Homo-oligomer: A and B are copies of this chain.
């Protein structure tokens, strides 16, 4: 139901559902406390507008972000492969060492200037056709969101010096600060994907603003 739209009053829900008013009242009260509904005494009960939630924890979508700034997004695909995972990747993805994983490396550009190196591992059990996608027209993020419901996200942010590979790809000098966002996503009970998103410190920041409840 769309945010802001009104839902039936307690009295009407009593009729429709056959439960007592107190039962319904407490259920609505809980949903209100969770932020799902907004209730105004004397006025009614409404579906809450989507939660104001900053881009830290939300799944940031690089494509949408660049477009929202009115700029042009383009992608270079550097690597698309399947490989047998080593110990580090196996631990990171919680899968058996040596089992196959998909691996991709992309560079995202804003008006031609490199803004993110996306080094991503994907669980084949989550998305069997990952390597068949054309990532110049759809982002891995978008493909994965369509492949299954997002259940959990983990983010770690670090500032690290650019290594030779990153510095070349991001048009920086080696040792310059890189803002590294590591993200793991869970879906259908497994780790769907683990990504390292490296950004040039000089040209990139993560911002978020939120209201605090109560």
- Hey, which bits of chain A sit against chain B, CB under 8 A? 26, 30, 33-34, 53-57, 149-161, 175-180, 199, 201-202, 204-212, 214
Contacts and interface: CB of A to CB of B under 8 A. Distances in A.
A30 B214 CA distance: 14
Given A56-B57, A159-B159, A211 B152 contact: yes
A118 B79 CA distance: 41
B57 A201 contact: no
26 contacts: A26-B26, A30-B33, A54-B155, A55-B57, A57-B208, A57-B210, A149-B214, A152-B212, A153-B210, A155-B207, A156-B205, A156-B208, A157-B205, A157-B206, A157-B207, A158-B205, A158-B206, A159-B177, A159-B178, A159-B179, A159-B204, A160-B202, A175-B175, A177-B177, A177-B201, A179-B179
A152 B30 contact: no
B57 A156 contact: no
